[in-house]
Amino acid sequence: MYNKRFIIPGLVIFVLFVTFPLWFNAFSTASPVPKPELPPGGEKECVAPASEMRDRHMVLLNEWRDGVLRDGERDVITVGGKQYRKGLQMACMQCHTSKEKFCDTCHDYTSVKPFCWDCHLTPEEAALKKETH
Ligand code: HEC
Ligand code: HEC
Ligand code: HEC
């Protein structure tokens, strides 16, 4: 008889333990971390290692812009054997062909709104422009 004191709580704990993933998911409110789309063209490398890109792509973009505008550095960079010209549209968006499926998935999640697209064309806008002109 003395076992009952242990069996019931034991069972309760066991059930809670086994079903942990179910109720943990139901009660956790954090939305899933975004998965930005990998380049649909199949490119495997970025202009720098992915971890570095995650941390400092904004800095790199500023450096590129300053380089191009102030010093006229329109260098060609080589990634995975292919050449690109330094630039938002001319390099980044050649591989990351969708602003929405790549840049925005992270930016929406972290509520960052880069104003770059006020002037720079997104790939979609660039394609549209080509069609209508
Ligand atoms: C007010 C308009 C405007 C805004 C906003 C703007 N840019 Fe630019 N950007 C330009 C112009 C004009 C050039 C020069 C284009 C050229 O000479 O090829 C340029 C050039 C650049 C270049 C180098 C060449 C190229 O074509 O990509 C980079 C990189 C760049 N901008 C990044 C950015 C980033 C990142 C942002 C947002 C943080 C941004 N820009 C916001 C107008 C703007
Ligand atoms: C030659 C194609 C190519 C170019 C050009 C390129 N990328 Fe990438 N980028 C990739 C690939 C492929 C990955 C994924 C690499 C990996 O997972 O190891 C990536 C990863 C990234 C990541 C990390 C994504 C993540 O899931 O965490 C960021 C941010 C990024 N790129 C931004 C940029 C920006 C900004 C530019 C322009 C300055 C740029 N990329 C230019 C191909 C490119
Ligand atoms: C892996 C997630 C991720 C991807 C993919 C990504 N970004 Fe970002 N980006 C961020 C985060 C997070 C910040 C805010 C960083 C901070 O505030 O320190 C940011 C900030 C920026 C900023 C500075 C904006 C500001 O107001 O300070 C620019 C410019 C930018 N990203 C451009 C791009 C472009 C262009 C792409 C697509 C080619 C891109 N990012 C893709 C995560 C990402």
Q: Report whether pLDDT(52) > 70.
A: yes
How far apart are the CA of 94 and the centre of ligand 1, in A? 16
Q: What confidence tens digit (pLDDT) does each residue in 28-41 have?
A: 556 678 899 999 99
Which pLDDT band, with edges at 50, 70 and 90, does 26 fall under?
low
Q: How many CA atoms lie within 13 A of 73 on its CB side?
A: 9
In the predicted model, what is the mean pLDDT of the chain?
Answer: 87
Q: Is residue 43 a contact partner of residue 79, using CB atoms and an 8 Å limit? A: yes
Q: Pick from 33, 52, 56, 57 the residue to mutate for probing ligand 3's pocket: most ligand atoms within 8 Å of its CB.
A: 57
pLDDT for 21: 65
CA distances from 33 to 36, 53, 82, 94, 111 (A): 10, 17, 31, 25, 13
Query: Which atom of ligand 1 is nearest the CA belonging to 58?
Result: 35
Q: Please, what is the end-to-end C-alpha distance for the chain in angstroms?
A: 88
Does residue 87 line the site of ligand 1, with CB under 6 A?
yes
What is the distance in A from the centroid of ligand 2 to the CA of 92?
7
